[in-house]
Amino acid sequence: MRVALLGILVSALQVAGTILDNGHPRENPYPGQAPKISLDDTWNIYGADVPEIAYKGRWDSKHVSWWSAPGIKVEFTGGKGINISQLAVSFGPSTSDGVLVAYRLGSLDWQFSNVTADATYQFVGDWSELSDEEIREKKIFEMRAQIAGVATAGNAELTVPPSLASGQFATYETMSSWAYLFVAGLGNVEYSITAYAGACLTDKACYGGGARGMTWYWHQAADPGSRAHEFYGDEPEGWDVNAEQPADLVLIQMGGNDHRHPNEIPGKDFYHAYVDLIEDIHRSWPHAVVLIVSQWGYFAKKGMTYQVDQIYEEEGKKVHEHFKDLGFVYYFDTTGLLQHNDIGPKAHPTDVGHVKLASHLLQWVKLVLRWKLEPMGEVQHGTLSWNDQEGY
Ligand SMILES: *[C@@H]1O[C@H](CO)[C@@H](O)[C@H](O)[C@H]1NC(C)=O
Ligand SMILES: *[C@@H]1O[C@H](CO)[C@@H](O)[C@H](O)[C@H]1NC(C)=O
């Protein structure tokens, strides 16, 4: 199974700061800081091009990663008679300074480490608490770049010691987002999330007319942001959506940025861009089910209640209507799923809001598509702060 999500994040670019739990700074918010090391000839060094590195999400030909939640997966093992597993990753010159990456073994708990350009960090070592058997068996190492606006960059060299077979507001940004909670919650599913903070659906219509929209972005390796613009100007590398295994399910949620000041894209332009995007997806992946996820707006206090609106509600329904007879487009109405405290700053869900949405979508997939969910391990990090205590 493969699932693609388009436009899901609307979080604004921001400098990541302190993680707050109900107003208090979270203790140790990024456990797992990896030591910086230098490689010597006791390591087996694999270049960024080797087929053993599986790149997830959007990376360009220089192994630079782009929004959102791009990652790598590699399989490694300890060799015969070897009692230690070690794995390190080198980051190339385009890596953003101090950027946070998330990493883990298999689907065990996520860990976090800041990394910088032109440096190597060791993520698995004798501190990893692996049993002799776990050292010998094949293990998946996964790493995701996850903090908004400063996507990690590559030249990721997989470096394995000779002992091993040759072989935005949500707490953790993308990895706390409903998009990620949903796809990871499906279990054993490959996915990609194509989203960029502030991105519009409509192309060259927002922010005075120059900004590229999702209809364009879906075919680009890099995102429509300023970092990509510094790299590539107006001609970033294309992204061949047909080079990937076609998606079985595509979720689209757009509109938050088209709708707001200074953009205020007229409904009919938004509608046509939406139809164009779905037609494009259908041409590329003719068997994919497309789910239009309606876009909530803001809660406002009205008398003794809070009331929320939906954005481009009519247009979204009209797009669904347009494709209805073809049978592959569905409409997911989010009205009422998020209550007042589930929507935080600038219409972004709080962590609880993200969890609620992801849960409803998982249920939709179970009931409508009849997919089986396969629980694999940790999806959301840090939620034990929501009370894992007994006997109080
Ligand atoms: C691994 O084996 C070597 C050689 O037998 C030994 O010196 C070392 O202490 C062992 N390390 C661990 C972590 O068991
Ligand atoms: C590590 O990353 C977090 C999240 O982006 C950031 O708040 C923190 O300042 C970074 N630390 C360093 C030392 O770069």
- Residue 7 pLDDT: 52
Edge-first strand order for the sheet with 139-145 is 54-56, 71-76, 139-145, 99-105, 111-115
**Which has the higher per-residue pLDDT, 308 or 11?**
308
Of the spans 84-93, 127-136, 223-232, 268-277, which averages the highest pLDDT? 268-277
pLDDT of 10 strictly over 70 = no
* Whole-number Å distance between alpha carbons of 194 and 247: 13
Strands 54-56 and 119-124: unpaired
Which residues does 327 contact at the CB level (< 8 Å), separation at least 6?
none
From residue 157, give the alpha-carbon distance in Å to each of 38, 45, 97, 207, 244: 13, 7, 18, 38, 22
Question: Does the C-beta of 83 come closer than 6 Å to ligand 1?
Answer: yes
Radius of gyration in angstroms for the set of CA atoms belonging to the chain, rounded to a whole number: 21
Tell me the CATH class for 2-14+171-369: alpha beta
Alpha-carbon dihedral sign for residues 174, 177, 178, 183? positive
pTM given for the model:
0.86
Tens digit of pLDDT for each residue in 322-331? Answer: 999 999 999 9
Question: For position 148, what pLDDT does the model report?
Answer: 33
Measure 115 CA to ligand 2 centroid, in angstroms: 9
Comparing 74-88, 187-201, 257-271, the range with the smallest average pLDDT is 74-88
Ligand nearest to the CA of 102: 2
The tokens of 277 are what?
């995007």
384 CA → ligand 2 middle, Å: 22
What is the Cα–Cα distance from 331 to 353, expressed in whole angstroms? 20
pLDDT tens readout for residues 331-382 = 999 999 999 988 877 778 888 898 999 999 999 999 999 999 988 888 888 7
| One-letter amino acid of 199 | A
Where are the alpha helices (H) located in the chain, listed in sequence order?
Answer: 132-136, 178-185, 214-217, 226-232, 256-259, 267-284, 313-323, 351-364
CATH 1.25.40.10 describes domain 30-160: no
- β-pairing, 157-160 vs 87-91, is antiparallel
| C-beta 377 within 6 A of ligand 2 | no
Q: Are the C-beta atoms of 42 and 82 separated by less than 8 Å?
A: no
**In the structure encoding, which two tokens stand for residue 209, read together?**
């007319």
The number of residues in the chain equals 392
Closest ligand 2 atom to residue 114 Cα is 1
CATH 2.60.120.260 in the chain is located at 30-160
3-state secondary structure 9-49: CCCCCCCCCCCEECCEECCCCCCCCCCEECCCCCCEEECCC
Q: Measure 22 CA to ligand 2 centroid, in angstroms.
A: 20
Residue 147: is its pLDDT beyond 70?
Answer: no
Compute, in angstroms, the gap from residue 179 CA to the centroid of ligand 2.
23
Return the ligand 1 atom nearest residue 126 CA: 13
Above 70 in pLDDT, residue 64? yes
> Which amino acid residue places its CA nearest to atom 9 of ligand 2?
17
- Contact between 311 and 295 under an 8 Å Cβ cutoff? The reply is yes
Q: CA–CA separation, 168 vs 10, rounded Å? A: 8
Range(s) of the chain covered by CATH 3.40.50.1110:
2-14+171-369
Strands 249-252 and 289-293: parallel
Q: Does 132 contact ligand 1 (Cβ within 6 A)?
A: no
The Cα-based distances of 43 to 88, 90, 91, 359, 362 in angstroms read 9, 12, 16, 43, 43
- Tell me the per-residue pLDDT of 164-188, one tens digit each, with 9 for 90 and over: 222 245 666 778 888 889 988 998 8
- The reply to whether ligand 2 has any atom less than 6 angstroms from the CB of 98 is yes
- Cα 97 to ligand 2 centroid, rounded to whole Å: 9
| Paired tokens of 120 | 């190597």
